[in-house]
Chains A and B, each alone.
Chain A
Amino acid sequence: MKKISIYDEYESVIGVEVHVELSTASKIFCGCSTAFGGEPNTDCCPVCMGLPGTLPVLNDSVVEYAIKAGLATNCEINLYSQMDRKNYFYPDSPKAFQISQNSDPIAINGHLDVLSGEGLKRIGITRIHMEEDAGKLIHDDTKGTLIDYNRCGVPLIEIVSEPDMRSADEVKSFLQKLRAIVIYLGITTGKMNEGAFRCDVNLSVRKKGVQTLGTRTEMKNLNSFAFVTKAIEVEMKRQIDVLEKGGTITQETRRWDPAKKASFAMRSKEDAHDYRYFPDPDLMPVILDQHEVDRINDDMPMLPDEYLNILTKKFGLKYSLAEQIISNKNVADFTMETIGKVSNAELFGNLITNVVIDDSSLEINVEQMIELIHLLDSGKINSGIAKKVFEFMMKSGEMPTQIIEIHDLWPITSVDALTKMAIQLLDSNPKIVEDYKSGKIKAKSAYLGLMMKETSGKADPNISEEIFDDLLKKM
């Protein structure tokens, strides 16, 4: 029986704040590029550097992108919202305030349904607001602290969830779903390693059955899903340990250190800034027309859930396979274009998820794919060869049959040729025969592995197996 640990008596209450960098062509208040990775201080101008006399002008695309995010997460869109100033001194903020939204954000009261251990669970979204990103401080051992203003003014939306999550897994599902949505909307690259999708986690613990909330901490610098999961587990345990020893939790901001797999207090509530929010007098309120919101709603692209529905219901793919397909939007889009035209949807699904496809686009066409699946479906090639042909297809524009011819990939099906090879192989590997005779089933797979290796995967696996059985019967 599993030992009941003290940790099982607690549950964690978790909410997240997610910053999504929008991929608009220009920044939120000026015409500078939002491209990532430029030479320091090359993608900036007097406006985003906050020079005296400059004024912000709100980029309409940012509002449109934020509305899309709101609609896709079932939010109400506020037809009146306003930009506020959040005042604080820090060298990454050249105006010494961030233009954000405080009292009237663009979207409120949304939700996402995510799969949790207990089935589908609704996670509330409190609000979505628009704001500008800050610059980056680079700490250099010899030169001191340097400032790169390129990121200043890159548009962000901040999505704040309700404290509705109870485990690291739920948080991970929520974040993955949210990330897929914003990528499918085409409003962000979603690249976590470039800071385009960043999460802060607010967490408190309480004894199961207790209704009141405990004191929470906020964890920052969680730039991968693995860090989020690990940080939640570690923080939950830390808080329970403190409480079990009779201590109290301090409301504070903690920074996750991925190398040490631990979080460290940055500042407590007492040192928290008074941001002195007030409406930015340089910007007019954002006043929307319901028709404008409706137009954006009508033009919304298909979202991950719709893809899932179609793939599972219309094409009969397994949920897990469909989920794998939609985890990459390029793959999902290609799948939607192709799956109805190939002779076997499942073979197609297995094949496309078996090939490693990065974020770059898939440069293959539907005709190539139809032929490839036909070859596979009709047994002319096996799945190993199909994968190879697929990989060649992504590099060249040739049709599968051509590729097979050029690269000599037709499977070896001749019984004579395969028998010759098998005899040779077993002669030089007597151990396989010995093992097989002493009852080790694994010996057969060792043989098959070697056959494939010798023929670069071209040996027909079924025929090769029959030959093996025949040969050993005779030995």
Chain B
Amino acid sequence: MKALIYESIGELSKKLCASEISSEELTRAFVDQIEKLDDSIGAYLHFDPVLAIERAIAIDLKRQKKQILSPISGIPMAIKDNICTSDMPTTCASKMLEGYMSPFDAHVVKKLRANDAIILGKLNMDEFAMGASTETSYFKKTRNPVDMGRVPGGSSGGPAAAVAAFEAAYTLGSDTGGSIRQPAAFCGVSGLKPTYGTISRSGLIAFASSLDQIGPIAKNVEDLAFVYTALAGHDPMDSTSSERMVENKDALIGENIEKLRVALPMNYLREGIQKEVKDAVLEAAKTFESIGVTVEPVEIENMEYALPAYYLLSSAEASSNLAKFDGIQYGYRHSGFDSIGSLYNQSRGFGFGTEVKRRILLGTYALSSGYYDAYYLNALRARQMVKETFDKLFESFDVILTPVAPTTAYKFGEHSKNPVEMYLGDIYTVPVNIAGLPALSTNCGFDDDEMPIGMQLIGKAFSEKVILSLGLAFEKEFAKKEVVL
């Protein structure tokens, strides 16, 4: 029999409902795995086995009284450390917020609690979600469970590594420019960046408000649907939250895929891409065709503007969002100050890491008088162009198939010296955030070093069910092929 930690949410949910297993037993299995592995993986920044087991026992009691309704109830999970929890610290992996206790739960955490989820702890990330390798965390390195010498990707490196190492059944990450999809691809798991506005951002410590979106990382596509349906929905506390009704899990994976038309942008595959990644995506296209989906090669224009626009807009918003970390009300305050000016300078100078400071400087510059039009406004124009390009493409297609990242997971330090090299890794993911679209990242192969390769399915706004259904169909076919190989 497969050990419990390897099972999917669907399988676990069935067993819990049938009382074949208890939530306590399941939680202890994950606790054991974390205690065994996490010293070397480093996914967790905060781990609270006592709280988790207590909660599991309470949920088992509730189940005995037949008060359990949610399929994710009693299943252990963990949360990226930029999502506020009232019973665990929330640090954004920054010295600035070391030990910070939020007085409230994020909207998604309230929903998790309402669904009787079991929260094991908080997960490592790039500082304030700025980075693509989790190397900018102030606290620790997170290793890729597939190859401990490599990065897990980022910024949700902890959430992806925790799922890949079976240290949680699923996790929550956040995605501003690829931060769920790229680490999911690097670690060989699945991640969903939902449509902007479908999951409340209330309680997510903002990096770039107009781009940030919370989403799940899990072992497979069906698990993503379980979590997405539990968390999505209108929140009056978030003015950007959509009022649209959310489908249930079965509807989310129940779309008829046969008439779907998939666009494959060929210009994405020509240069600056690892050959095995390109081959795997082309192979995925064939798999889709084999199950009756139409795939057509296209050229996608204007995407060269997406990356610079993204770095301008996200940094501009970040420069303002992170201004509150000033050493006054909470968080890190440097002791060596003799004026309000030096209190700010010292606290921010020593409290933030290099990458965060780089983005704040970049964003401050882009918003400064005299530069605003050239940078911020032009970036907004580019954003509009990217949106229009997608709109046009979606007139003829339902889904766009792309790689998640140009390469598989790289070794520690390989890109961290050159920020622009690191930024180029976001080329396929940022346009999705710029346009507020949903996108799924799931495994579609391995390179010669057996590192996982991810493909991305981009859908129209609010078409989560199309990309999830398509992703699920692919997954089934892909599993067959693996067996054959």
State the A residues within 8 Å of B (CB).
Answer: 46, 49-58, 85, 87, 89-91, 94-97, 147, 274, 276-278, 281-284
Interface check B369, CB cutoff 8 A: yes
Closest A residue to B363 by beta carbon equals: A276
Known: A57-B237, A87-B320, A278-B367. A94 touches B90 (CB 8 A): no
- Identify which of B90, B328, B364, B372 contacts A52 (C-beta below 8 A): B90
Known: A89-B326, A94-B329, A282-B209. A55 touches B237 (CB 8 A): yes
- Identify which of A89, A94, A147, A284 contacts B239 (C-beta below 8 A): A284
Closest B residue to A280 by beta carbon equals: B209
Chain A residues in 8 Å Cβ range of B340: 90-91
- Identify which of B238, B329, B372 contacts A55 (C-beta below 8 A): B238
B interface: dominant SS? loop
Q: A52 near B100 (CB under 8 angstroms)? A: yes
Closest A residue to B201 by beta carbon equals: A55
B90-106 interface bits toward A, Cβ cutoff 8 Å, 1 = contact, 0 = none: 10100001001011101
Closest B residue to A282 by beta carbon equals: B209
A interface: dominant SS? loop
B289 to chain A, nearest CB (A): 40
Chain A residues in 8 Å Cβ range of B240: 281-282, 284
**3 A-B pairs with the lowest CB-CB distances in the bound complex, closest first:** A96-B323, A281-B209, A281-B210
In the complex, which of the residues B100, B323, B372 has the most CB atoms of chain A within 10 Å of its own CB atom? B323
Known: A278-B316, A278-B376. A53 touches B202 (CB 8 A): yes
* Cross-chain pairs A/B with CB under 8 angstroms, 9 sampled: A46-B102, A49-B329, A53-B90, A53-B206, A55-B238, A91-B328, A96-B324, A97-B323, A284-B239
Known: A52-B90, A94-B329. A281 touches B323 (CB 8 A): no
Chain A residues in 8 Å Cβ range of B323: 87, 89, 95-97
The docked-state distance in angstroms from the alpha carbon of A90 to that of B367 is 19
Known: A89-B326, A96-B323, A281-B208. A55 touches B239 (CB 8 A): yes
Chain A residues in 8 Å Cβ range of B329: 49-51, 94, 147
Closest A residue to B343 by beta carbon equals: A91
A57-B236, A276-B368, A281-B208 known, 10 other contacts, Cβ within 8 Å = A52-B330, A53-B83, A53-B106, A53-B206, A57-B238, A89-B344, A91-B328, A147-B329, A276-B319, A282-B206
Chain B residues in 8 Å Cβ range of A91: 326, 328, 340
Q: B102 near A52 (CB under 8 angstroms)? A: yes
The docked-state distance in angstroms from the alpha carbon of A274 to that of B369 is 7
B359-386 interface bits toward A, Cβ cutoff 8 Å, 1 = contact, 0 = none: 0000010011100100010000000000
The docked-state distance in angstroms from the alpha carbon of A278 to that of B377 is 10
The docked-state distance in angstroms from the alpha carbon of A94 to that of B240 is 22
Q: A282 near B316 (CB under 8 angstroms)? A: no
Interface check B60, CB cutoff 8 A: no
Chain A residues in 8 Å Cβ range of B326: 89, 91, 96
Interface check B9, CB cutoff 8 A: no
Chain B residues in 8 Å Cβ range of A53: 83-84, 90, 102, 104, 106, 202-206
Known: A89-B323, A97-B323. A52 touches B316 (CB 8 A): no
Interface check B317, CB cutoff 8 A: yes
The docked-state distance in angstroms from the alpha carbon of A56 to that of B320 is 14
Known: A52-B102, A53-B84. A58 touches B320 (CB 8 A): no
Known: A46-B103, A87-B323. A55 touches B84 (CB 8 A): no
Q: B328 near A283 (CB under 8 angstroms)? A: no
